[in-house]
């Protein structure tokens, strides 16, 4: 079997008194594309932010490549090889594309690697070469998303986490983002993908997790989840159950 | 007003404005990253002044060495307050940081009140600051030209630091979005410590300027510069470094102009006019003259 690189073991996360995640567990193996699905407010972004170190779990542990990372700072976790492309892109608007990319490599910078990686990003995203000296804030939404992904990739992460990369993009752009994710997977990059566009995510994922109001309700084969969703277990019954309880 | 008088007014205003610009910059460089108005900032200046006083009293150092020591002391104080007082509270409520900055301010004032004297002490400074310079009938003190030149050099250096170095890049990124910068591996400690170091360094330079103008230091010497910095920042803009610089020069222009044109009876109320201006700015244009990047982001 393939090698496990991330193990999230029974973590709970709360914003002040409000629990956002309850006893959540998840695993990612090397080279896998794993998707974490759920409706708005299910706790998907909370899960990614906790793995990245922005939020601290109140209980449970997160293990990355054999080391416990829960409790470490975001910068330390980035240095170990986890890169989060945050929801809403969060590029630095007044910094140029060049500066955004340079900062992406801040924690793991090596000049020799950087030049090669930059060329690599230009082949993946030719538009970034065209706009290299422009302020990030002047880019269109789709271009900003490409910049955000490139900024996440340029540190050569062992695990790339994408939080809603297709959010707010035109249908064409959504297509190219999903194509891109597939080609990143083909390169052997390990990806943890959070998406609201569940159908598209399930089509390309190796394994899937489904969150509902902070609880894990499914873990396994994306095909199976898709079938269950078609019979509207997730959209129909689950929500009714939630309303009753 | 004759031309020479007008020109000397301009030179004086630019000289004073340079001092105020550095003052405001030191406050904003920390605010931009932490969202904290550091009320201990005035005391960094006060300590710089006291270092000059103590050197004058106990050691007969050449001026450049004395000035360098004052700047280093203020910069180190900035760094130390961050590491000792602010860092343990980082990520807590902003109010806690604000109260902490007041506490540092009060503690430092009392250290010098008890340790030296509650009275104002005169500080020796080189006579050349006061030398009258006559350029084609424009008579001003050399001080103004020194302030302008030093400030220009510092602004150029700071611009290069912010635009051309990776540290500056990281600081700009952190002031736009602190959490995302950390997600790129930018260490929070590095960025915040650098901001406080720069803030303290600017305070040290201002301390020398302040000494050259006032010639005295006392435990409450930090209050007036802090107030000026605060007003300049409100005018210029809390969210942008160029805004702070502009605010400093605008403040100097307004206070000089008021001093010149107000009827003598109203002159003592110059400050009141400045406060009215602050209120107007807060009501009508709270973002200041230069808007900059509004970030409600907090250190978390």
A232 touches chain B (CB under 8 A): no
Which string of b and e fits B116-145 if b means at least 16 CB within 10 Å? Answer: beeeebebebeeebeeeeeeeebebbbbbb
Q: Indicate if the pLDDT at residue A107 is higher than 90.
A: no
pLDDT category of residue A236 using cuts at 50, 70 and 90: low
Of B101, B131, B114, B112, nearest to B40 (Cα)?
B101
In a domain, B274, yes or no: no
Which residue segment(s) compose the domain that B22 sits in? Answer: 17-222
pLDDT band at A232 (very low <50, low <70, confident <90, very high): low
Read off the pLDDT of each residue in B107-115 and give the average, rounded to a whole number: 96
From the number of C-beta atoms within 10 Å of its C-beta (0-12, 13-18, 19+), residue A231 rates as exposed
Whether the Cβ atoms of residue B234 and residue B288 lie closer than 8 Å to each other: yes
> In B, which residues are within 8 Å of A54 by CB distance?
179, 182-183, 300
Residue-wise pLDDT tens digits, A23-50? 999 999 999 999 999 888 889 999 999 9
- Name chain A contacts of B187, Cβ cutoff 8 Å: 73, 75
Q: Quick one: pLDDT band at residue B116, thresholds 50, 70, 90? A: very high
- Tell me how far CA of residue B183 lies from CA of A35, B103, B167, in angstroms: 21, 32, 16
**Is residue A245 scored above 80 in pLDDT?**
no
B67, part of any domain: yes
pLDDT band, very low/low/confident/very high, at A1 (cuts 50, 70, 90): low
Q: What percentage of chain A carries pLDDT values higher than 90?
A: 77
Helix/strand/coil (H/E/C) assignment for every residue in A54-111? CCCCCEEEEEECCEECCCCCHHHHHHHCEEEECCCCCCCCCCEHHHHHHHHCHHHCCH
Residues B11-50 have pLDDT tens digits of 999 999 999 999 999 999 999 999 899 999 999 999 999 9
- Assigned token pair, B97: 């940081």
Quote ipTM for the complex. 0.90
Name the pLDDT band for A226 (thresholds 50, 70, 90): confident
Whether B80 is in a domain gets the answer: yes
Contact at CB, B169 and A103, closer than 8 angstroms: yes
Residue B238 covered by a domain: no
**pLDDT at residue number B89:** 93
User: What tens digit of pLDDT does each residue of B275-287 get?
Assistant: 999 999 999 988 8
Using the predicted structure, report yes or no on whether residue A237 has a pLDDT greater than 70. Answer: no
| CA–CA separation, B205 and B71 (whole Å) | 6
Q: Looking at the predicted structure, is the pLDDT value of residue A183 above 60?
A: yes
| Residues of chain B positioned with their CB less than 8 A from the CB of A83 | 183
Q: What confidence category does residue B209 fall into, taking pLDDT thresholds of 50, 70 and 90?
A: very high
| B162 in any annotated domain | yes
Q: B262 CB contacts (<8 Å, ≥6 apart)?
A: B269, B270, B273
- The DSSP-derived string for A23-57 is EEEEEEETT-EEEEE-STTSSHHHHHHHHHTSS--
Q: What is the mean pLDDT of chain A?
A: 90
What is the per-residue pLDDT for A41? Answer: 84
Which residue does chain B place closest to A51, by CA atoms? B183
Residue B93's pLDDT band (cuts 50, 70, 90)? confident
Nearest to A74 among B176, B177, B183 (CB): B183
Q: In degrees to the nearest 10, what's the CA dihedral of B183, B185, B190, B194?
A: -70
B286 found inside a domain: no
Q: What is the pLDDT of residue A53?
A: 96
* CA gap B14, A40 in Å, rounded: 55
Which ranges constitute the DSSP H helices of chain B?
Answer: 3-34, 41-58, 63-81, 94-115, 142-164, 166-176, 178-183, 188-214, 223-236, 241-261, 270-284
Domain count, chain B: 1
Q: What percent of chain A has pLDDT over 70?
A: 93
Q: Mention every residue, 6+ apart, whose C-beta is less than 8 A from residue B270.
A: B255, B258, B259, B262
Residue that is written with structure tokens 């990245």 in the block: A52
pLDDT of residue B90: 87
Cα distance between residue B55 and residue A42, in whole Å: 63
pLDDT tens digit sequence for A167-179: 989 999 999 999 9
pLDDT of B296 over the 50 cut = no
- Rounded to whole angstroms, the Cα distance separating A92 from A103 reads 10
Q: How far is CA B97 from CA A14, B12, B30, B233, in A?
A: 24, 37, 12, 19
Q: Greater confidence, B151 or A231? A: B151
Does the pLDDT at position B298 exceed 80?
Answer: no
Nearest to B256 by CA among B240, B270, B269: B270
pLDDT at A215 over 80: yes
Is B144 within a domain? yes
Interface check A74 vs B, CB under 8 A: yes
The pLDDT tens digits of the residues spanning B223-254 come to 999 999 999 999 999 888 999 999 999 999 99
Q: How many Cβ pairs closer than 8 A exist between chain A and B?
A: 68
> Do the Cβ atoms of A92 and B180 come within 8 Å?
yes
Question: Which residue among B170, B182, B185 sits closest to A155, beta carbon to beta carbon?
Answer: B185
Nearest CA in chain B to A90: B180
Burial of A232 (0-12, 13-18, 19+ CB in 10 A): exposed
- Structure confidence at residue A231 (pLDDT): 66
Residue B269 in any domain: the answer is no
pLDDT tens-digit readout, A119-142? 999 999 999 999 999 999 999 999
What is the distance between the alpha carbons of residues B255 and B13, in angstroms, rounded to a whole number? 9
CB distance from A72 to chain B under 8 Å? no
Query: Which of A54, A95, A103 faces B186 most closely, judged by CB atoms?
Result: A103
Joined together, the tokens standing for residue B288 give 């200041």
The answer, yes or no, to whether residue B300 has pLDDT greater than 70, is no
Cα separation values, B223 from B34, B73, B122, B217, Å: 22, 19, 17, 11
CB atoms within 10 A of CB A155: 25
Judging by beta carbons within 10 Å of its beta carbon (0-12, 13-18, 19+), is residue A242 exposed, middle or buried? exposed
B185 and A73 within 8 Å at the Cβ level: the answer is no
pLDDT at B299 over 50: no
pLDDT band at B291 (very low <50, low <70, confident <90, very high): confident
């Amino acid at each position: 079997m393939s090698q496990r690189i991330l193990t999230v073991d029974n973590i709970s996360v709360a914003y002040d008194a409000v629990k956002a995640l309850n006893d959540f567990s998840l695993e990612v193996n090397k080279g896998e594309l794993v998707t974490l699905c759920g409706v708005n407010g299910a706790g998907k972004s909370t899960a990614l932010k906790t793995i990245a170190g922005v939020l601290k779990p109140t209980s449970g542990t997160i293990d990355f490549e054999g080391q416990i990372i829960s409790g470490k700072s975001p910068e330390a976790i980035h240095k170990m090889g986890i890169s989060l492309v945050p929801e809403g892109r969060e590029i630095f608007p007044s910094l140029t594309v060049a500066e955004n990319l340079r900062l992406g490599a801040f924690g793991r910078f090596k000049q020799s690697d950087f030049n090669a990686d930059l060329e690599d990003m230009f082949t993946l995203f030719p538009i970034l070469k065209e706009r290299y000296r422009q302020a990030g804030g002047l880019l269109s939404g789709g271009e900003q998303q490409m910049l955000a992904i490139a900024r996440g990739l340029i540190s050569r992460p062992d695990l790339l986490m994408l939080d809603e990369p297709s959010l707010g993009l035109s249908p064409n752009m959504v297509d190219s983002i999903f194509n891109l994710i597939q080609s990143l997977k083909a390169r052997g990059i390990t990806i943890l993908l959070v998406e609201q566009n569940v159908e598209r995510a399930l089509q390309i994922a190796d394994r899937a997790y489904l969150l509902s109001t902070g609880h894990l309700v499914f873990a396994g084969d994306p095909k199976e989840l898709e079938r269950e969703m078609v019979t509207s277990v997730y959209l129909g019954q689950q929500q009714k159950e939630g309303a009753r309880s | 007003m004759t031309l020479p008088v007008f020109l000397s007014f301009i030179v004086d205003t630019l000289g004073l404005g340079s001092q105020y610009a550095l003052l405001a910059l030191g406050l904003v460089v920390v605010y931009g990253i932490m969202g904290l108005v550091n009320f201990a900032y005035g005391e960094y200046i006060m300590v710089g002044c006291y270092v000059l006083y103590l050197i004058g009293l106990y050691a007969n150092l050449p001026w450049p060495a004395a000035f360098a020591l004052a700047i280093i002391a203020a910069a180190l104080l900035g760094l130390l307050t961050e590491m000792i007082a602010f860092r343990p509270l980082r990520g807590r409520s902003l109010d806690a940081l604000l109260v902490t900055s007041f506490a540092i301010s009060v503690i430092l004032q009392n250290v010098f009140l008890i340790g030296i004297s509650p009275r104002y002490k005169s500080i020796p400074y080189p006579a050349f600051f006061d030398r009258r310079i006559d350029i084609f009938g424009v008579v001003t003190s050399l001080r103004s030209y020194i302030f302008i030149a030093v400030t220009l050099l510092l602004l150029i250096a700071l611009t290069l630091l912010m635009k051309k170095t990776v540290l500056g890049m990281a600081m700009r990124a952190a002031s736009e979005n602190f959490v995302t910068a950390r997600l790129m591996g930018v260490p929070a400690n590095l960025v915040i410590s650098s901001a406080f170091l720069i803030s303290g360094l600017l305070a040290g330079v201002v301390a020398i300027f302040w000494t050259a103008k006032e010639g005295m230091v006392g435990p409450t010497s930090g209050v007036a510069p802090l107030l000026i910095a605060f007003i300049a920042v409100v005018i210029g803009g809390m969210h942008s470094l160029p805004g702070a610089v502009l605010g400093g020069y605008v403040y100097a222009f307004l206070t000089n102009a008021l001093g010149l044109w107000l009827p003598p009876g109203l002159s003592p109320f110059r400050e009141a006019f400045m406060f009215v201006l602050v209120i107007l700015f807060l009501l009508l244009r709270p973002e200041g003259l230069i808007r900059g990047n509004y970030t409600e982001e907090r250190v978390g």
